[in-house]
C-alpha cells in the first residue's frame, strides 16, 4: 500500500530500480527501521513484475548493437535453438564487455588481444572444455564480424582452441539408486516438489535434454493415446514415446493441481509471477537442488547427469548401443558409443577373447 500510494501517475509505463529506491529511502526516513528500505525493494519488485510495470535495469555497452545483430542472424539465418542462441550470446557478450572495459576497439582488434582475454579471464577459472567452447564461439562471431566489416578477417583465423579428444571422458552418471532417492524426495504435496518430480521423471525415464523439457508443450502429451511426442533438438525431428504410468501420473498431477492458468502452451511454468516458461538453466537448478540436498556425490549435478543415468540403466538391461541412441535422440551411433566404455560385461568378453595361435 505504501508503494502504491507513492507511485507516480505514469507508473504503468514502467518503474525502474531508481524510482523504487527513492520510495524505499523515504519510508526508511519516516520509519527509522534499518531494514525498511530493503523490505520495500524486496516486496515491491516482484509485485511490479506481476503488474508488468517493472523495468529491468539495462546495462548498455559499446557493442550492444553488434551483439543484437549477431543474435538475430543466429536465430533467423542459422536456425539455432533458443538454448544455443542464449548460451552463445552470453559468451560473446562477456567478451565484448571485456573489450569495452579495457578500451579495445573491435575494428582494431589484434590476435594478441584475444590471447589477453583468455589469459586474464580463463586462467584458473575455466576448464579445458569451457576454453574450447568459448574459443569456437568467439571464432564464429569474429568470422561473422569480419564479413560485416567490423574487424579484420585474420582475427578469427588466429584463434586456436585446445584439442578435445574423442571418447576421452567417461559418462558422469549417478547410480540409479540415487536417482530413485531423488524421485522419492520429490514425492510430497509441496507444489514445487510436484512440479520438480514431473521434470525429474522426464529427465531420468526419457533421457530428455534440459532444453527439450523446457520446450515441452501441452499438445505434445496425448493423454488418451498414452503417448508423448518429443521434438529432439539434435535430430531436428519428432519422436513418439509411450507415456509410462509414473510420468503420466506426475505430469497429470502437476497440470491439474499446480500449473497456474496461462495462455502459454509450455508445460512447465515459473512458480511465481510472471508465469513465464522455465528456461533450460532452470531445469538444471531443479536437478542440482536434489543432488545437493541429498548429498549425492557426482561430477556433474544437472539434468544431463540424469540423462546419462538413463543411458547407463538401459545399457545394464541389455539394450544395444543403437537402441539406446534411438531412445536418447542421438543422430549417430558415435554419440552413444561413449557408453560402451562402461559396459563391463561386454568389456570382459572382449578381454577374454581367445586369439588362439595368432601372434
The reported pLDDT for the residue numbered 187 is 92
180-200 mean pLDDT: 94
203-225 mean pLDDT: 91
178-196 mean pLDDT: 93
For residue range 325-356, list pLDDT tens digits in order. Answer: 888 887 766 666 666 555 555 555 545 556 56
- The yes-or-no verdict on residue 69 having pLDDT over 90 is yes
For residue range 114-152, list pLDDT tens digits in order. Answer: 999 999 998 888 888 899 999 999 999 999 999 999 999
What the block records as the C-alpha cell of 49 is 513484475
The reported pLDDT for the residue numbered 244 is 92
State the catalytic residues: 209, 234, 304, 307, 330, 339
Q: How far apart are CA 290 and CA 181, in angstroms?
A: 9
- The yes-or-no verdict on residue 2 having pLDDT over 60 is yes
Burial (CB count within 10 angstroms: exposed 0-12, middle 13-18, buried 19+), residue 268: buried
* φ, ψ dihedrals at 228, nearest 5°: -125, 120
The reported pLDDT for the residue numbered 120 is 92
Average pLDDT score over the chain: 85
- Which letter does DSSP use for residue 276 in this model? P
Task: For residue 175, name the pLDDT band (cuts at 50, 70, 90).
Answer: confident
Percent of the chain, pLDDT > 70? Answer: 88
CB neighbour list of residue 168: distance below 8 Å, 6 or more residues apart = none
pTM of the model: 0.66
Q: Please tell me whether the peptide bond between 274 and the residue prior to it is cis, using omega within 30 degrees of 0.
A: yes
The reported pLDDT for the residue numbered 8 is 85
Q: Which residue has the higher pLDDT, 316 or 148?
A: 148
Q: How far apart are CA 146 and CA 93, in angstroms?
A: 17
Q: Which residues pair with 266 in a beta bridge?
A: 217
For residue range 17-66, list pLDDT tens digits in order. Answer: 888 888 988 888 887 777 888 888 889 988 898 888 888 766 667 888 89
Q: Which residue, among 118, 109, 102, 95, has the nearest Cα to 153 in the 3D structure?
A: 109
158-167 mean pLDDT: 82
Amino acid at each position: 500500500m505504501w508503494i502504491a500510494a507513492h507511485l507516480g501517475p505514469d507508473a504503468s509505463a514502467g518503474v525502474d530500480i531508481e524510482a523504487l529506491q527513492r520510495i524505499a529511502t523515504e519510508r526508511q526516513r519516516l520509519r527509522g527501521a534499518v531494514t525498511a528500505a530493503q523490505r520495500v525493494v524486496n516486496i515491491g519488485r516482484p509485485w511490479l513484475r506481476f503488474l508488468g510495470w517493472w523495468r529491468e535495469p539495462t546495462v548498455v555497452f559499446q557493442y550492444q548493437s553488434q551483439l543484437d545483430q549477431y543474435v538475430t542472424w543466429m536465430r533467423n539465418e542459422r536456425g539455432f535453438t533458443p538454448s544455443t542462441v542464449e548460451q552463445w550470446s552470453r559468451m560473446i557478450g562477456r567478451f565484448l564487455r571485456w573489450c569495452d572495459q579495457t578500451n579495445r576497439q573491435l575494428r582494431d582488434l589484434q590476435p594478441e588481444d584475444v590471447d589477453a582475454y583468455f589469459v586474464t579471464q580463463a586462467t584458473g577459472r575455466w576448464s579445458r572444455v569451457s576454453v574450447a567452447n568459448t574459443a569456437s564461439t568467439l571464432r564464429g562471431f569474429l568470422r561473422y564480424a569480419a564479413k560485416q566489416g567490423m574487424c579484420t578477417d585474420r582475427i578469427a583465423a588466429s584463434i586456436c582452441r585446445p584439442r578435445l579428444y574423442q571418447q576421452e571422458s567417461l559418462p558422469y552418471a549417478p547410480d540409479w539408486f540415487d536417482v530413485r532417492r531423488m524421485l522419492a524426495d520429490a514425492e510430497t504435496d509441496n507444489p514445487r516438489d510436484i512440479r520438480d518430480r514431473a521434470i525429474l521423471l522426464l529427465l531420468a525415464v526419457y533421457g530428455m535434454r534440459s532444453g527439450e523439457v523446457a520446450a515441452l508443450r501441452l499438445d505434445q502429451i496425448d493423454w488418451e493415446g498414452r503417448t508423448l511426442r518429443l521434438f529432439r533438438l539434435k535430430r531436428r525431428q519428432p519422436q513418439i514415446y509411450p507415456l509410462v504410468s509414473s510420468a503420466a501420473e506426475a505430469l497429470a498431477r502437476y497440470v491439474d493441481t499446480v500449473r497456474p492458468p496461462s495462455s502459454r502452451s509450455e508445460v512447465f511454468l515459473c512458480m511465481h509471477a510472471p508465469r513465464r516458461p522455465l528456461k533450460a538453466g532452470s531445469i538444471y537448478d531443479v536437478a542440482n537442488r536434489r543432488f545437493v540436498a541429498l548429498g549425492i556425490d557426482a561430477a556433474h549435478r544437472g539434468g544431463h547427469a540424469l540423462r546419462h543415468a538413463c543411458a547407463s540403466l538401459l545399457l545394464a538391461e541389455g539394450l544395444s548401443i543403437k537402441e539406446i541412441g534411438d531412445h536418447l535422440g542421438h543422430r549417430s551411433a558415435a554419440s552413444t558409443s561413449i557408453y560402451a566404455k562402461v559396459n563391463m560385461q561386454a568389456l570382459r568378453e572382449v578381454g577374454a577373447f581367445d586369439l588362439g595361435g595368432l601372434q
